A and B are shown apart, each in its own frame.
Chain A
């Protein structure tokens, strides 16, 4: 008896652990690749750098990870930021223009860029906080305008980048591991520590869980939201800079296209509920990795990049269904019924 009770308890806590979903997804992708082509996992060292699919997953996933980190916080407050793709384009365009056309060093250009995109994020937050506009709509405005702004910055051109320091952001290696990954790791750690070692995390979760009650508990929700949207904007801009660095060019039209969707995907699949409240930064990182692994696996399986959104869509809706109370109930009912019948 007690043993049975114990096992249901552990089962429950396992199912309740939100990290289980991205991990299960990753396990599936890995299993699929083990069966179809184990060479997927081969990692080689060339010129002291690591090469291979696994490395690609991480290095190409770096940008989505950045977006997802910012998006996680925004979603945790009960919002969403649809403008991150457009802000990426602005970030890339700004940094590239500063360095290439205005001749600033990267050490000047990068901070200025981040301040500007952070301000754009702050503007999103201000619309939500002071304008009391639904986040989807508030950030929609920048989503619409952003690409136009990026085009204006670069004069509708693709800006080619030659500055070696700039390119190092996207192509450099430290200890054989891409620089962008180091950068993401550092940012993740800084965020995790500053959120969990202060009370910011708890307060953000409280705001997302019940904003009205948070006011009665003396939490300054507006201030938290402004910070969170600004951080999200800054991280999106940085992702845009990394993107430009990795392809040696800032393309205001294409960069960050539909990336807001990837970011939301990574967050949701990482176990943070879209309704806000509890959030998991690490889950979002896992979600981003899963997304990239899925894309690369499909690519290796001969599915063209253009068709890749189809399975992505199926996974997104599937994950949402799994998080849906009613769907879970239906499944339990079906399994119960099956159990009874047998």
Chain B
């Protein structure tokens, strides 16, 4: 754990233990098309507590939040605020009755001032329709003072760092006297100092009796900050527990269910494989690769059939490193060499022609072509590798599509179905098929299992294993550390945009990775 033993200072939370729940969610169910996103989800939030809502991607956290804040309307279930039934029809209505929300990507207006971002939508006007800026200014000031923060009200929002913008969003939520604050992944893009400041503010607000629903992927933060936590899995309520009574092991058990045990049992096998891979020929050699603001000088050797993980917290430079090797961002220093060929930098089409490919973490924006068919989505990288004047014959396309749909068990009505009709996990499989069809020498997988269900996740992990046996070299990034533990033969640990350590074979454990990150002061 990153910040151990700090969770003992909990006086306020004990005091509020007996009070009636501030927010009571009972039996929420929500269906999207044929997908049951939520079924019978319940939890209670007390005044003056920080309550974490936990679960894997797709567990139903954000759907739950959206049902509470009026973005979605649940089919069944009720929400009570202070004992009164509520059913807001929009986030604005929710805000007005005292439920404020702050999202991961700051949902404010970059082109307007801090002042406007705090009060817009709730300003008073005089008889001529002129906004009463003086009143607005006072209200904004008092909201900021609740955070004990001093931010220039006339600064344009876009000129502030993200962490500040988030505090502005918090101030906006407080300006209406929110009793419930929902923080949806607020720490995802913050650095350590900024996280600390946010935590300070969160503690401050809790002490003022505000109930905070906290959503985050960082388990350390969960243990450090929350009084209680509720775990969801596959859209269902699993358990609510007191933070003090719970070990991390138990929590993972709750979150992952049976899959967790299966994963545990496989951890030991990797040593022999790792040793074997370490003796093979070097496939990719990265020397001194870096770019300002992305990552400092990375060295990396990747051998045939080897799977190397890049571990570290979000913002440690994992994804940036992958993007530089692939060339979708341009490095200012360093070289990338394949066996004996230097790869031209900053030109993804060249990298693909040379055999380096990146399966991006952002499937929707950087992966799928939503209106093209499964077949076309599979052959497109091979096609661009061959060049526009050398089309992949239709028979070959059909054969490839057929082969990968069968091999990867892609659930689709056929190769001519639009990819957007497939589920997230199957889209991810199509994307992997795209890269495999293009015959890579080095495949970089950035969050290959993000947002897909546990079954598909296990299949993808198996696929990575068998590809490695076939000699494909891979670089893997995953925020689920256990995944890297299971899949990788070697792990480079990154922190603050630098490689700070390396682990191999059975030495790769979650605690070892976390220790490396934490110890490196």
Contacts and interface: CB of A to CB of B under 8 A. Distances in A.
Given A217-B434, A277-B371, A202 B328 contact: no
Contacts of B384: 203, 217-220
A205 B369 CA distance: 9
Interface residues of B, number: 30
Contacts of B348: 215-216, 218
Interface stretch (A83-91, A206-214, A303-311): A206-214
Contacts of B391: 197-199, 202
Nearest to A195: B388
A278 interface: yes
A128 B370 CA distance: 23
B388 A206 contact: no
Interface string A204-240: 0110011011111111100010000000000000000
Contacts of A165: none
A286 B391 CA distance: 28
Contacts of A202: 376, 380, 383, 391
**Interface size for chain A: under 10, 10 to 19, 20 to 34, or 35 or more residues?**
20 to 34
Given A199-B383, A216-B360, A218-B353, A210 B389 contact: no
Contacts of B367: 213, 216
A31 interface: no
Contact of B365 (A199, A203, A212): A212
B371 A199 contact: no
B187 to A, nearest CB: 26
B349 interface: yes
Most buried by B among A210, A217, A219, A278: A217
A203 B388 contact: yes
B328 A210 contact: no
A219 B366 CA distance: 12
B336 interface: no
A216 B353 CA distance: 12
Given A199-B388, A202-B376, A202-B383, A217 B365 contact: no
Given A216-B328, A218-B351, A203 B383 contact: yes
A243 to B, nearest CB: 32
B467 interface: no
A200 interface: yes
A278 B418 CA distance: 12
B128 to A, nearest CB: 36
B256 interface: no
B53 interface: no
A218 B352 contact: yes
B380 A216 contact: no
Contacts of A210: 365, 368-370
Contacts of A197: 391
B11 to A, nearest CB: 50
B88 to A, nearest CB: 23
Q: Which of A198, A209, A213 has the most chain B CB atoms closer than 10 A to its own CB?
A: A213
A296 B201 CA distance: 71
7 contacts: A202-B380, A205-B369, A205-B376, A210-B369, A216-B366, A217-B352, A278-B371
Please list the 10 inter-chain residue pairs (A to B) with the smallest Cβ-Cβ separation, ordered nearest first: A218-B352, A218-B384, A199-B391, A218-B349, A209-B369, A219-B384, A199-B388, A217-B381, A277-B371, A216-B366
